């Protein structure tokens, strides 16, 4: 009797199992690696490089001022040393704020870029889903493990390039 129940359960279970086609994709990377992404990223990359150059210049000036203060520490009056140390601290705060602001601006530029490229990427992804008859597509960063065959990021890049 136990064998009959097990056999019936097994047959029911086998009948209810369906193959599910699953893929993982790094959508952001696919957009940025595509030809249209590379072309669209030129101007934001240039802006970020300019911001980075300004930040490096400010950091070098800050380091130079700190070295000058350390060098002159023994020859300065206590009041003059205190003023210069306070000015150095203010300059340091300014540089830190500048760095944080530049990071926000760079992130905003990337978000704008991704937003502008998303419609082309979604269209390419939709055609890839239909062609491959995928039941589920996950963001690669959300998956704990995915077989290399399940990662279709490179194929999505090729599809975006082909479609645009």
**CB 121, CB 98: distance < 8 Å:** no
What span, in angstroms and rounded, lies between the C-alpha atoms of 163 and 34? Answer: 11
Q: Within 10 A of 4 (CB to CB), how many other CB atoms are there?
A: 8
What span, in angstroms and rounded, lies between the C-alpha atoms of 155 and 164? Answer: 14
Mean pLDDT of 13-23: 62
**CB 2, CB 124: distance < 8 Å:** no
* 147-157 burial code (b ≥16 CB/10 A, e <16): eeebbbbebbb
pLDDT class for 17, splitting at 50, 70, 90?
very low
Q: Highest mean pLDDT range out of 12-16, 17-21, 56-60?
A: 56-60
pTM for this one? 0.70
Question: Which residue in 49, 60, 69 sits closest to 95, CA to CA?
Answer: 60
The pLDDT tens digits of the residues spanning 28-61 come to: 999 999 999 999 999 999 999 999 999 999 999 9
In this model, does residue 91 exceed pLDDT 50?
Answer: yes
pLDDT class for 103, splitting at 50, 70, 90?
very high
- Above pLDDT 90, what percent of the chain? 73
Burial class (CB in 10 A: 0-12, 13-18, 19+), 44: middle
**CB 50, CB 57: distance < 8 Å:** no
**CB 22, CB 135: distance < 8 Å:** yes
């Amino acid at each position: 009797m136990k064998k009959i129940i097990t056999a019936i359960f097994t047959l029911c279970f086998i009948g209810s199992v369906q193959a599910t086609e699953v893929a993982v994709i790094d959508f952001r990377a696919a957009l940025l690696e595509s030809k249209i992404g590379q072309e669209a990223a030129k101007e934001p990359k240039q802006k970020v490089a300019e911001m980075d150059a300004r930040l490096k210049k400010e950091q070098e000036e800050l380091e130079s001022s700190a070295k000058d203060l350390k060098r002159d520490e023994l020859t300065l009056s206590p009041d003059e040393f205190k003023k210069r140390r306070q000015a150095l601290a203010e300059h340091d705060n300014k540089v830190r704020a500048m760095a944080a602001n530049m990071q926000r601006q760079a992130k905003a530029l990337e978000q704008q870029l991704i937003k502008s490229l998303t419609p082309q990427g979604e269209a390419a992804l939709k055609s890839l889903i239909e062609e491959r008859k995928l039941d589920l597509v996950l963001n690669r960063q959300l998956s704990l493990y995915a077989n290399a065959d399940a990662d279709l990021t490179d194929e999505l890049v090729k599809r975006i390039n082909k479609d645009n």
